[in-house]
Chain A
Amino acid sequence: MSRIAALLAAIGRPVLAALAALGRVSIFAGRALGHMLRPPFYLREIAGALLNVGYFSLPVVGLTAFFTGGALALQIYSGGARFNAEAVVPQIVAIGMVRELGPVLVGLMIAARVTSSIAAEIATMKVTEQIDALVTLSTHPMKYLTAPRVFAGLVMVPVLVGIGDVIGIMGGHVVGTRSLGFNPATYLHNTVNFIEARDIVSSLVKGAAFGFIATLMGCYYGMNTGRGAAGVGRATKGAVEAAAVLILAANFLLTSIFFSI
């Protein structure tokens, strides 16, 4: 009997811990959204976050999308040759980039670049008492630090995904027309004709969801860091891991919602 109880306890403990963590993150997300919608709004902080999440992520997003689009074109061409389907390169590059690779790769790049920097910055602020200082200066840390960053994630990551989709398709276009012998005008025509509104909407919705997850995880882990440099390191690592896993899980969920019907 005691062995059964011990087994149940061994299963129950991590389940309860996971549920408690989910609850804490949900409450944190609710508070972040609440502060985002209620004044005062710190416009300078919001502008800074928009620049950091959006504008300064453009190079890494652009390069990632370009090379992925080019590699995708090569793969589809060589794979399609096995059953004489080389001509579908423009369509598959377009659908692959817009529906999946664009949002997911941008989301993961944002998790690597933005989530880590948010978590490290806020965690450092926490261990050096800057968060306490904000409170004593009558400024709510959620409103000053979290709300602008999460807002920037929600707004800018869909924009980055849109740009990433276009650059990825252009990467495929460059490879397709320069190396694989496609006619440039025909390539573009096939791409544009093949993409549906649903593909674009799903891409942008995924971008918003991934931006929300990436920035929220950075803020959550930063605000809940342990002590010292080791605490900051653990917070940063935890934030990136959680953001990456949640982005991929959310991608599966959203793909099911958009394309299973």
Chain B
Amino acid sequence: MIELRDVHKAFGPKRVLRGIDLTIAQGTSMVVIGGSGTGKSVLLKCILGLITPDSGAITLDGQDVARVERDAFLARFGMLFQGGALFDSLPVWQNVAFRLLRGSLKRPRAEAREIAIEKLRRVGLTADVADLYPAELSGGMQKRVGLARAIAAEAEIIFFDEPTAGLDPIMSGVINDLIREIVTEIGATAMTITHDMTSVRAIADNVAMLHDGVIQWTGPVADLDDSGDPYLDQFIHGRAEGPIEAVR
């Protein structure tokens, strides 16, 4: 279980997170929604330790993430980055098997390649993609490779940062279905940040809306349309008028 209590983060005078309280239960899929620039990515990076919060507590299974052994902590995570963040200098299979080629999870090269190809198949890519370089792939294929990399080392917790950004609706649907299937199949805890409401409904067990540095609303995805929260209503229906200023 991931718990955030009163987490604050500012960049100079800009206070991005102003007291975040959020709980993500083990084995569930939490989707965090919110407008552009509201701090969704900052929130996610605070949990991973890529950004240090100014105050507040973040715990994973009751342990403060700032005090745990970093390698063991990170070995539990997989992450799909918004732009894929694939390593340009490595072929696709080495991107997928990155963790399996070095460090505590190191395997023989041939075995790591086999696992990478199997994970590529899992996300709908054929073995002939394995030796291509990321620059030779389309945006949708890069997302799939990123997804394969996120699941390659059997992560318990997977983060998805804008998994459908920049993809056409059909490819977005494919990625959403893959995420849902994989999260269910491996029983992982998932946290996704997105503004794509189709993704929210396809991926989420629970939804949290981040606005003005705090969690404005949180609840099961089934309650999304009947929340009674004017901020959430405005956001999910994409209205220009409402309590959220359209020009921020």
| Stretch of B19-27, B99-107, B122-130 with 4 or more beta carbons under 8 angstroms from chain A | B99-107
Q: Are B102 and A132 in contact (CB under 8 A)?
A: no
* B1-36 CB contacts (< 8 Å) to partner A: none
Chain A CB within 8 A of B240 CB: no
User: Which residues of chain A come closer than 8 Å to B98, judged between CB atoms?
Assistant: 137, 139
**Does A224 sit within 8 A of B, measured CB to CB?**
no
Residues of B within 8 A of A260 (CB): none
B186 interface residue, CB < 8 Å from A? no
Contacts of B103 in A (CB 8 A): 40, 138-139
CB distance from B60 to the nearest CB of A (A): 14
Complex interface: stretch among B72-80, B172-180, B223-231 = B72-80
Q: 1/0 contact trace for A118-150 toward B, CB 8 Å?
A: 000000110011101101111100000000000
Check B99 against A130 for contact (C-beta < 8 Å). Answer: no
Question: A130: which B residues are within 8 A, CB to CB?
Answer: 85-88
**Residue A40 contacts which of B83, B99, B102, B105 (CB distance < 8 angstroms)?**
B102
Q: How far is the CA of A130 from the CA of B84 in the complex (A)?
A: 9
Distance in angstroms from A120 CB to nearest chain B CB is 12
Residue A194 interfacial (CB < 8 Å): no
A contact residues around B102 at 8 Å (CB): 40, 42, 139
List chain A residues, Cβ under 8 A from B45. Answer: 132
* Pairwise interchain contact A136-B82, C-beta atoms closer than 8 A: no
- Complex Cα distance, B78 from A125, in Å, reads 19
- The interface size bin for chain B is 20 to 34
Q: Please, which residues of chain B bring their CB within 8 A of the CB of A129?
A: 81-83, 85
Distance, CA A136 to CA B74, complexed state (A) = 6
How long is the Cα–Cα vector from A139 to B187 in the complex, in angstroms? 25
Considering the complex, which residues of chain B in the window 37-60 have a beta carbon less than 8 Å from any beta carbon of chain A? 45, 48-50
**Closest Cβ–Cβ distance, residue B53 to chain A (whole Å):** 16
| B165-201 Cβ-contact flags toward A at 8 Å (1 or 0) | 0000000000000000000000000000000000000
| Set of chain A residues within 8 Å of B99, measured between Cβ atoms | 137-138
* A133 contacts B81, C-beta separation under 8 Å: yes
Interface positions of A from 73 to 92, Cβ below 8 Å from B:
none
**Chain B residues whose CB sits within 8 angstroms of the CB of A40 once the complex forms:** 102-103
Could you tell me the distance between the alpha carbons of A128 and B146 in the complex, rounded to whole angstroms? 13
Q: Please determine whether A132 and B81 come into contact, CB atoms closer than 8 angstroms.
A: yes
Residues of chain A with a CB closer than 8 A to B241's CB: none
Q: What's the nearest-Cβ distance from chain B to residue A139, in Å?
A: 7
Q: Are B85 and A133 in contact (CB under 8 A)?
A: yes
Once the chains are docked, how many angstroms separate the CA of A129 from the CA of B49? 14
**C-alpha spacing A130/B86, complex, angstroms:** 7
Residues of A within 8 A of B105 (CB): 138
Q: Is the CB of B87 within 8 A of A136?
A: no
Residues in chain B near residue A124, CB distance under 8 A: 88
Is B71 an interface residue, CB under 8 A from the partner?
yes
* Cα-based distance from A102 to B85 in the complex (angstroms): 40
Chain B residues with CB below 8 A from A136, complex form: 48, 50, 74, 77-79
CB atoms of B83 and A128 under 8 A apart: yes
- Give the complex CA separation of A132 and B86 in angstroms: 11
Contact (Cβ within 8 A) B85 A138: no
On chain A, the residues within 8 Å of B50 by CB distance are 132, 135-136
Cα of A40 to Cα of B98 in the assembled complex, Å: 15
Residue of B nearest to A136 (CB): B79
List the 4 closest pairs (A to B, CB-CB), nearest first: A133-B85, A129-B85, A138-B74, A136-B79
Known pairs A125-B87, A137-B149; list 9 more (Cβ under 8 Å): A40-B102, A40-B103, A129-B83, A129-B85, A130-B85, A133-B81, A136-B77, A136-B79, A138-B105
6 inter-chain pairs at a CB distance below 8 angstroms, sorted by A residue, are: A40-B103, A129-B82, A133-B81, A136-B48, A138-B99, A138-B104
